Structure 1
Amino acid sequence: MVMPAITGSGVFTPPEVITNEELVETFNAYAEAFNTRHAAEIAAGEIEAKGLSSPEFIVNASGIERRHVMDKTGVLNPEVMHPLLRQRSDDEPGIMAEMAMAACAEALDQAGRDASEIDLIICAASNHERPYPAVAIEIQQLLGAGGFAFDMNVACSSATFGIQAAADMIRGGGARRALVVSPEICSGHLEWRDRDCHFIFGDVCTAMVIEAAEEANGPHFVIRSTRCATQFSNNIRNNNGFLRRARPDGVADRRDMQFMQEGRRVFKEVLPMVSSHILAHLEAEKVTSDELRRLWLHQANKAMNDFIGRKVLGRVPSADEQPNILQDYANTSSAGSIIAFSKYSDDLAPGDQGLICSFGAGYSVGSVLVERAPGP
């Protein structure tokens, strides 16, 4: 029986950083200008005044301290407050495919593979810059890979669902070697003028090489099993579905077209779903919580991760058992758990087991149980 394995991973981190302090300064300037401009309506009770934000509020609400973005100039302009991403011509590489090149190169290098050896590419991300042609096919062409490629969107669970799809195809013989790529430009669909969510997202791209364990060139992680689940909910929603660009008709400024969530409902409903999902996955594989060396969880909110960690391990997990990258990257949608895995997995010894889990809109949750294995 073919056992799929993760043999390489890579992360592209945009060079531009926005700190909480920078973000708050911009948001408060916007809010104060709004309140001044609408003073009469606010006094009449027709509209509500915009409340101010603070770095302390952001850290307490999320654990986030900074985020990387593809463009900070537009985000930090109180008159704009969204990334200024250049509209590219049809004969230029798209921005998502361009981001993917660096992450894929790192993953391929770690796996000891050339792009020509890849015969499956899945671009698994929460937002794609266009409906078609698939971004994955563009990545395939730019890399010089063979086989076939397709896009996948299961919101924040996209990467783990992509891992399951790739692993299943390798088990079944439909593909020999895959790249699961998650270019996430979350800044393009965030409403930066909403105090309750203006701090949540950042941009990044991750990539993973998945192939048969017996073909691995070095130390790797055998994919013991995967499990996915979905349940419809409107409590996390994005009606835009594409990267935000300013338009003269003002459509891009409609609040109902950008990211929205009912935070309290999400916390109440998603956490039990995720916790029970992980515990059922471990039980099915006859793995106890004591045998789990590390949890690489979706990086959306520190309080959420702390809750899930306690439920799964039966105690408060240490930073080593459940590493967070949220403070430096913010929520990067499906890429978050993969960043954590990529940065905090090399120290595991052969036989150590860990679980990658992502969750979010849908609702959706995907988990990947892995075991460290030595090289040939």
Structure 2
Amino acid sequence: MAKRSRIVGCGSYLPANAVSNKDLEARVDTSDEWIVQRTGIRSRHVAAEGELTSDLALAAARAALNHAGMDAASIDCIVLATTTPDNTFPSTATKVQAGLGLTRGFALDVQAVCAGFVYALSVADSFIRTGQATRALVIGAETFSRLLDWNDRTTCVLFGDGAGAVVLEAAEGKGDASDRALLSTHLHSDGRYYDLLYVDGGASSTMTTGHVRMHGQEIFRHAVTKLSEVVEEALVANGLEPSDIDWLVPHQANQRIIDGIARKLKLPSSKVVLTVDRHGNTSAASIPLALAEAVHDGRVKRGDLILMEAIGGGLTWGSALVRW
């Protein structure tokens, strides 16, 4: 028997303030038609003044624990994926740990931008497989609106704030694709493309927090190629075919990218979990937000095969296969 990680609960949180494309028309030179045509985004949520990434993460974590029917005291580790920590240090994960009343175990942040949740899943899965943890909270949380230049219409319309979380628990399995578990994760990065998507600030360079800078067309080109490759990698590693996939839960950056991956997999739109129209790009939070929605509305059922994939700044990208 093999020790594997099983997702036993998921939860999410969105700030109350929903900002529509029409709202942005009054703020920047753009239009609802322009945004929808290029991205599929119609609205996004923006954190309130004083509402921090840790607040969003804590709310999503509590929702995931409630869904799992577990007490926070049973959690051994917290892995939080975020690009927008409360402070440069300590990790925002430690604030979530304190907020849950935990004084044992360990907590850490993972920074892989939009691919962060897949990276964080892989890290937590490794802790469970090696016996360092029995139960783990994996969270993706962002207040990405704090990084936006609201005069740059090419970026400010794309992003939103939110958080999603899952609870992982150690489980015994046969070690094959029939296990109800996290089957595998596949991570990549290529620093040659560092300048395609970045924030022009940092403690080491400017001592300030800057704004998002993005070469959108280049990101789009790399996304289609690299995500297709990492999806194929996950299927081959598990001896599966695209036809075995029940649900595609992609990073919610751009509907055209999502549609392109679905076409390559020959998946109908009814098998794709889509939230980009209502959430925008919430970076590391986008996959767990979408997953929680599909689980809680009953679309995802026991035994379903779920494929997750994401690409972000770095460039970083990855995929994960889960049998629910």
The normalised TM-score by structure 2 is: 0.91
Instruction: Give the letter for the 2:55 counterpart.
Output: E
User: Of residues 179, 185, 192 in structure 1, which corresponds to 2:143?
Assistant: 185
Q: 2:289 aligns to what?
A: 339
Residue equivalent to 2:15: 14
Alignment partners' CA distance in 2, 1:361 and 1:151: 16
Cα 1:241–1:333, aligned 2, differ >3 Å: closer, same or farther? farther
- Displacement of 1:214 in angstroms is 5.1
By how many angstroms is 1:5 displaced? Answer: 0.8
2:78/2:108 contact within 8 Å kept: yes
Structure 1 residue matching 2:229: 3-state secondary structure:
helix
Aligned to 2:218: 265
Within the candidate set 308, 313, 324, 1:356 is matched to: 308
Pick one of 244, 250, 270 that aligns with 1:320. Answer: 270
Say whether residues 1:297 and 2:250 are aligned partners: yes
Structure 1 residues 258 and 225, CA, compared in 2 at 3 Å: closer, same or farther?
A: same
2:106 & 2:181 partners in 1: Cα distance? 23
What residue number does 1:99 align with?
A: 56
Provide the rounded CA distance (Å) in 2 between the counterparts of 1:123 and 1:322. 25
Percent identity over paired residues: 30
C-alpha displacement at 1:340, in angstroms? 1.3
* Residues 56 and 221 of structure 1: CA distance in aligned 2, closer, same or farther (over 3 Å): farther
Shift of 1:241: 5.2
Partner of residue 230 from structure 1, selected from 189, 209, 212: 189
AA aligned to 2:294 is Y
Point out the more displaced range, 96-105 or 8-17. Answer: 96-105
- Long gaps (5+) in structure 1: 28-51, 72-84, 87-93, 243-250
Where 2:85 maps in the other structure, the secondary structure is coil
Corresponding position: 1:113 with 2:52: no
Report what 1:63 is aligned to. Answer: 40
For the structure 1 residues 119 and 275, does the alpha-carbon distance in structure 2 shift closer, same or farther, using more than 3 Å as the test? Answer: same
Contact 1:128/1:241 (8 A) holds in 2 = no
1:366 aligns to what? Answer: 318
Instruction: Give the structure 2 partner of residue 143 of structure 1.
Output: 100
Q: In the aligned structure 2, how far is the partner of 1:265 from the partner of 1:67?
A: 24
For residues 19-58 of structure 1, the aligned pairs below 5 Å read 19-27=20-28, 52-58=29-35
Alignment correspondent of 1:247: none
Secondary structure of residue in 2 paired with 1:344: helix
CA contact (8 A) 2:262 2:269 kept: no
- Contact (CA 8 Å) 2:234, 2:320: kept in 1 or not? no
Question: Which amino acid letter does the alignment assign opposite residue 149 of structure 1?
Answer: A
Indicate the SS of the match to 1:280.
helix
Distance 1:349 1:95, change over 3 A: closer
Deviation for aligned residue 1:213? 2.9
**How much has 1:221 moved relative to structure 2?**
5.1
Q: Quick one: distance in 2 between partners of 1:143 and 1:224?
A: 29
AA paired with 2:310? S
For residues 282-321 of structure 1, give each alpha carbon's deviation from its aligned partner in whole angstroms, at most 9, with x where no partner exists.
112111001111110000000011111112x1x3x32321
Q: 2:86 aligns with which of 129, 132, 135?
A: 129
Residue in structure 2 matched with residue 157 of structure 1 by the alignment:
115
Q: Is the 8 A contact 1:7 1:221 kept in 2?
A: no
For 1:348 and 1:96, the matched residues in 2 are separated by: 27
Please report the RMSD computed on the Cα atoms of aligned residues, expressed in angstroms: 1.8
Structure 1 Cα separation of the partners of residues 120 and 163 of structure 2: 14
Aligned-partner SS, 1:195: coil
User: How far apart, CA to CA, are the structure 2 residues paired with 1:139 and 1:214?
Assistant: 29
Distance 1:350 1:142, change over 3 A: closer
Offset, 1:133: 1.4
**Structure 2 spans left out of the alignment, 5+ residues:** 174-178
Give the Cα–Cα distance (whole angstroms) in 2 for the partners of residues 183 and 348 of structure 1: 22
Q: CA–CA distance in 2 between the matches of 1:366 and 1:108?
A: 26
Question: How far apart, in 2, do the equivalents of 1:198 and 1:335 lie?
Answer: 17
